[in-house]
Amino acid sequence: MSARRIVVAIDGPAGAGKSTIARRIAARLGFLYIDTGAMYRAVALWARRLDVSLDDHLKLEQLARAAVIELRSNPLGVVLNGEEITELIRNPEISQEASKVSAIPGVRRALVDKQRAMGEVNSIVMEGRDIGTVVFPEAAIKIFLDAAASVRAQRRLDELRAKGQTGLTLEEVLKDINERDTRDRTRAEAPLMQAPDAEYVDSTHEPVEEVEERILMLVRARTSNGKELHK
């Protein structure tokens, strides 16, 4: 049996801990880590800079197709058309705009094409909202990572504060997360939902290390040493 590439798909709402978990698992397995939310954020940032209306779907689709997005792993970073934008896309305004931009079917088509190309040659841990349902429905391992909304809001607030963004309250962050999740779950195109064959993992009360071990056990159960898929 020859080695085949392995896809670990992690979906879930904002603040569930997807990035932390996905990064750690990718490092443990030696797989490429791909943050698809960063790609929607990059398109939102570009649209804002060019003053493109979020109602101009055609133009936004063109931007999504034209965008050259690199997801650097070492050091971790996001590069748009040659410019480092890692920190510029991590604020509540871009979060909301990314969520709006991501509801546009043409934008999704453009970015999903890029995501599939990234996963074509590498074993990957890819996180987002539609990875197990749309981008890689044949992924070997699918996780739906969830947590109580209040816990997700607190985690986001801690992240923002750690970056020096101290002006927000827990209530504001919770409102922001709820608004975004509702939009992401109710949109017509590729809404956030659990794939029927995904493992539901609730991280509300579980430390990161335990969630990580649980997912790694799943990966090992379905692969040999994380390298080959069991037939």
Catalog residues that contact ligand DC under the rule CB under 6 A: 14, 36-37, 40-41, 95, 98-99, 102, 128-130, 180, 184
φ, ψ dihedrals at 176, nearest 5°? -60, -45
The nearer residue to ligand DC, 36 or 223, going by C-beta atoms, is 36
The nearer residue to ligand DC, 155 or 223, going by C-beta atoms, is 155
CA distance 141 to 217: 11
Structure tokens at 97: 């705009």
Alpha-helical runs (H) found in 50-148:
57-66, 92-101, 105-118
Taking the complex as a whole, the smallest distance from the CB of residue 49 to ligand DC amounts, in Å, to: 18
List Cβ neighbours of 69 (8 Å cut-off, separation of 6 or more).
Answer: 38, 39, 42, 78, 79, 80, 114
Q: Is 51 left (phi over 0), alpha (psi -120 to 50) or beta?
A: left
CA distance 167 to 120: 42
- Tokens 């739906």 correspond to what residue? 144
The nearer residue to ligand DC, 114 or 129, going by C-beta atoms, is 129
The nearer residue to ligand DC, 181 or 212, going by C-beta atoms, is 181
Taking the complex as a whole, the smallest distance from the CB of residue 157 to ligand DC amounts, in Å, to: 14
Burial class (CB in 10 A: 0-12, 13-18, 19+), 7: buried
The nearer residue to ligand DC, 106 or 213, going by C-beta atoms, is 106
Taking the complex as a whole, the smallest distance from the CB of residue 148 to ligand DC amounts, in Å, to: 17
Taking the complex as a whole, the smallest distance from the CB of residue 224 to ligand DC amounts, in Å, to: 29
Torsion over CA of 81, 82, 84 and 89, rounded to 10 degrees? 0
Contact 127, 14 (CB under 8 A): no
Taking the complex as a whole, the smallest distance from the CB of residue 228 to ligand DC amounts, in Å, to: 27
Taking the complex as a whole, the smallest distance from the CB of residue 3 to ligand DC amounts, in Å, to: 27
The nearer residue to ligand DC, 182 or 224, going by C-beta atoms, is 182
